[in-house]
């Protein structure tokens, strides 16, 4: 008979993360970010706690709603007392059937907390060499939007820190200045030495996108994320056919839950890559569906955190490590905050690994 996690109690606490700098995005400046840390506890073993994180991204997550905290509280109350099959698949299936799909960050938090509980409350989400043997995952260095001098300073620091893959957010300042920054990197490092990615967050119009992609291609870029706003399927399909630069879908995946809709989206647009953010697209089960579909169509992918604390980042990194990844992932956001949760996660020379330090919770 399959083992069961019996009489689970769910609760949460909010935590206001404070940025070390004003983080510029296409949706405005972020100075802080509220997140919610979920706890799953067995009534008979209250000392064993599984942790997850529900962290809707402001102005982007479909569950970034005024009543989010009330909804999370109600879900915790409704599901407290539940019993769940004590297996990875049992947990993922249970969450999928008990947490509404239009609350993707709560799904991810529930999956993570229960998987942690399954492994004894040791912040172990998956049994992989990343957790067990400190096997590193390659990551990109992220350059935030801002004034040219601010972006240039970030570039210099990331290159000095040994990153061999740089991702630069574009669309906030003059396009010519952004090209100058890319040219600055290319004068020092060839494409063989440093991989360059850019993320437009939908900043280009369909009319001028192709012209800008042709200019960007001159800098030997690896790819561009979401060049035009999501929801313009025909325009994005045309871009993916015509662009000399590889295109990765990001925001385009948000709010697509049904397997058939996911399949139709990828078959229609045929991007070269997709970007997966578990908090935004519905957690581990949903990401696995996207990966399986993308792989069947010859579409590449990489995983990215979405400004979670180290609780969420740890879960995403461990999930990523269940795959044989070779290209840099977007998992470098743990260094953004003054008051992140202390963790064993270590970022060094373009890699993230699980070290020996203890957790702050």
How many angstroms separate the CA atoms of 49 and 316, rounded?
A: 19
- List residues bridging with 145 in a β-sheet: 24
| Helix, strand, or coil (residue 361) | coil
- Please give the angle made by the CA atoms of 119, 306 and 229, to the nearest 5 degrees: 140
Tell me how far CA of residue 289 lies from CA of 275, 276, 313, 361, in angstroms. 13, 11, 20, 32
CA quadruple 126, 296, 101, 41: dihedral, nearest 10: -10
The residues near 89 (Cβ < 8 Å, ≥ 6 apart) are none
**Which are the contacts of 353, defined by CB distance < 8 A and separation ≥ 6?**
130, 134, 135, 136, 137, 345, 346
From 142, 149, 204, 211, select the one nearest 180 (Cα to Cα). 149
Q: What are phi and psi of 122, to 5 degrees?
A: -110, 20
Specify whether 31 is catalytic. no
CB-count exposure of residue 176 (10 Å: 0-12, 13-18, 19+): exposed
Catalytic residue among 123, 212, 262, 277: 277
Query: Among the options 158, 167, 169, 262, which is catalytic?
Result: 169
Pairing of strands 4-25, 82-85: antiparallel
169 catalytic per annotation:
yes
Residues assigned a catalytic role: 169, 277
């Amino acid at each position: 008979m399959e083992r069961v996690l019996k009489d689970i109690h769910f609760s949460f606490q909010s935590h206001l993360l404070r940025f070390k700098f004003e983080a510029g995005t296409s949706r405005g400046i972020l100075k802080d970010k509220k997140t919610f840390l979920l706890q799953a506890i067995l009534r008979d073993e209250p000392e064993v706690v599984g942790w997850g994180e529900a962290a809707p991204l402001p102005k982007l997550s479909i569950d970034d709603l005024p009543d989010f905290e009330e909804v999370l509280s109600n879900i915790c109350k409704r599901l407290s007392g539940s019993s769940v099959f004590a297996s990875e698949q049992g947990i993922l299936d249970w969450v999928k059937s008990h947490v509404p799909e239009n609350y993707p960050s709560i799904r991810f938090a529930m999956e993570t907390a229960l998987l942690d509980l399954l492994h004894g409350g040791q912040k172990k989400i998956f049994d992989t060499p990343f957790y067990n043997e400190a096997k590193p995952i390659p990551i990109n260095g992220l350059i935030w939007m801002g004034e040219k001098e601010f972006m240039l300073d970030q570039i210099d620091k990331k290159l000095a820190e040994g990153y061999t893959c740089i991702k630069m957010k574009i669309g906030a300042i003059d396009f010519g200045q952004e090209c100058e920054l890319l040219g600055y990197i290319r004068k020092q490092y060839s494409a063989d030495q440093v991989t360059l990615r850019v993320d437009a967050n939908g900043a280009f119009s369909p009319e001028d996108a192709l012209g800008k992609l042709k200019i960007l291609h001159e800098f030997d870029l690896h790819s561009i994320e979401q060049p035009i706003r999501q929801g313009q399927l025909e325009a994005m399909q045309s871009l993916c056919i015509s662009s000399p630069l590889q295109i990765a879908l990001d925001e385009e995946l948000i709010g697509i839950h049904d397997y058939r809709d996911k399949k139709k989206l990828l078959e229609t647009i045929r991007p070269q890559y997709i970007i997966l953010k578990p908090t935004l697209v519905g957690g581990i089960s949903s990401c696995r569906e996207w990966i399986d579909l993308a792989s069947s169509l010859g579409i590449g992918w990489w995983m990215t955190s979405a400004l979670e604390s180290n609780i969420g980042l740890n879960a995403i990194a461990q999930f990523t490590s269940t795959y044989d990844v070779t290209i840099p992932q977007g998992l470098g956001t743990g260094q953004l905050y003054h008051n992140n949760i202390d963790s064993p996660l270590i970022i060094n020379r373009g890699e993230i690994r699980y070290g020996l330090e203890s957790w702050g919770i």
